[in-house]
Amino acid sequence: MVKFIESELMQLRSEVYQMWTLVYNQMDQARQAVLGMDHDIAQQIIVRERRVDAFELKIDSDVEDFIALYTPVAVDLRFVLAMLKVNNDLERIGDYADGIARFVRDAEAGNLDPALVEKLQLDTMFAVVLEMMKDLQQALMEEDPAKATSVMSKDDQLDRIKAASEGILVDYARSNPDSIAICMGLGGVFRKLERTGDHLTNIAEEIVFFIDAKVLKHTSGSSDSRQ
């Protein structure tokens, strides 16, 4: 029985890693799509979103089956519950990548103004998100709660960039009335990246919960990740 349980847990961990890699690639390509306003890459992301959704459903089902079959306790129970929540957060991040791709696909504009992109720190925003994803996956693989905790501070940088972007976009739209639609779309991109940071903070907490059985609280209160 113990060997069966260990095998099932290893399989679940492997599935979560695969989901993680898929969602990471989706967000990385969302970065490429926006910065290049590349409709082809955007369409690829949209098509692959179905695979992300299917993966989430499979992992949810596998977790439910594992709990029903083995009635896990202690660290095994913490692990499967953490993986369930991590899986759900990853699916939401995949949704945001899909939403960003749809903005690019539907946008009528060609390339973005390089000066605007630089002032907005859009590339930096994506880079921080992707770095957080990579570091958290490593923290889970290494079962390193300190690494998971260290990632949380990076969410503050996302919040600062997003807050600054609002005024920049308003000023640009005033000076360039033809760009109002694209500025509104970019505002949506920044909101999605900020919320991605919130979900990554949730993932960091779940990793710590699994490893140390600690539940970290947001100092600013819980966010509504379904907005």
pLDDT of residue 217: 45
pLDDT of residue 14: 95
8 A C-beta contact, residue 29 and residue 41: yes
State CA 42 to chain mean position distance.
Answer: 17
pLDDT of residue 1: 64
In whole angstroms, give the CA distance from residue 3 to residue 164: 53
Nearest to residue 100, comparing CAs of 20, 28, 205, 156?
Answer: 28
Token reading at 81: 């519950």
Low-confidence ranges of the chain (pLDDT < 70): 1, 213-227
pLDDT of residue 149: 94
pLDDT of residue 209: 87
pTM comes to 0.91
State pLDDT tens for residues 104-154: 999 987 789 999 999 999 999 999 999 999 999 999 999 999 999 999 999
Termini Cα distance of the chain:
43
* Orientation of helix 2-36 relative to helix 39-70, angle to 10°: 160
pLDDT of residue 218: 40
